[in-house]
Amino acid sequence: MDKKEQMILEAFLGLILIILLVIMIFLFTSINSATGSTTTITNSFNTNNYYNPYTYPTIKHYPFYTKTYYKKNYLDYDCHAYKKTLKGILGNNIEHYIVYVRNQDYKPGYFRVNYYFTDYYGDTKTETMTYYIKPKQAKEFIYKNIYEDKYKFHDWNYEVISRTSV
């Protein structure tokens, strides 16, 4: 094979590869851009597929929280929380449990957030995060649940504790 023939063959194969990549991109993006969901109902006689064209917006869940004044809080703080659900790269739902804590005091310190997750059976799972927050600064404590099938939480709550003053 001549150098010129080899160069033409490589250019032709490269062009075919680029065309195939463009076709694959259009196929995959058209599948993901479809809105709605498909429900399959199977019984012993037949299988039916139903397409639901409606998608529902993300609803933020705000848990109930009151400051615990019977515990010793070393630093004054302000907090609020919400839950946000996002779509992952693989199409799974990623749940973000966000607690926003603002140090209202003039001293820095460590703040701990205890997350309490209750499943449908009434069992409670506890997760804890601790961050150092400077005076008059704020920090978002974010717990991410990426395992949709593993942990199905019915309800969640949180508790903020200012552990130490520095």
More confident residue, 81 or 90: 81
Asked if residue 22 belongs to a domain, the reply is yes
Q: Note down the domain range covering 8.
A: 3-52
Is residue 130 domain-shared with residue 88, that is, in the same domain?
A: yes
Q: What is the pLDDT of residue 89?
A: 81
C-alpha angle with apex 121: 119 to 126, nearest 5 degrees? 40
- What's the total number of domains in the chain? 2
89 and 130 in a single domain? The answer is yes
Report pTM: 0.56
User: Would you say residue 63 lies in a domain?
Assistant: no
Query: What is the mean predicted confidence (pLDDT) over 4-12?
Result: 88
CATH number of the domain that residue 108 is part of: 2.60.40.10
Tell me, yes or no, whether 98 and 138 share the same domain.
yes
pLDDT band of residue 72 (cuts 50, 70, 90) is low
User: What are the structure tokens assigned to 120, written together?
Assistant: 């449908």
Residue 164 has pLDDT above 70, yes or no: no
Cα 68–Cα 73–Cα 74 angle in degrees, nearest 5: 170
Calpha distance 108→133 (Å, rounded)? 6
Q: Is 35 part of any domain?
A: yes
Residues 81 and 160 in one domain: yes
Provide the Cα torsion 117, 67, 99, 140; round to 10°.
-140
Residue 36 is assigned to a structural domain of this protein: yes
Which phi-psi region, left, alpha or beta, contains residue 154 (left: φ > 0; alpha: ψ -120 to 50)? alpha
Query: Do 159 and 112 fall into the same domain?
Result: yes
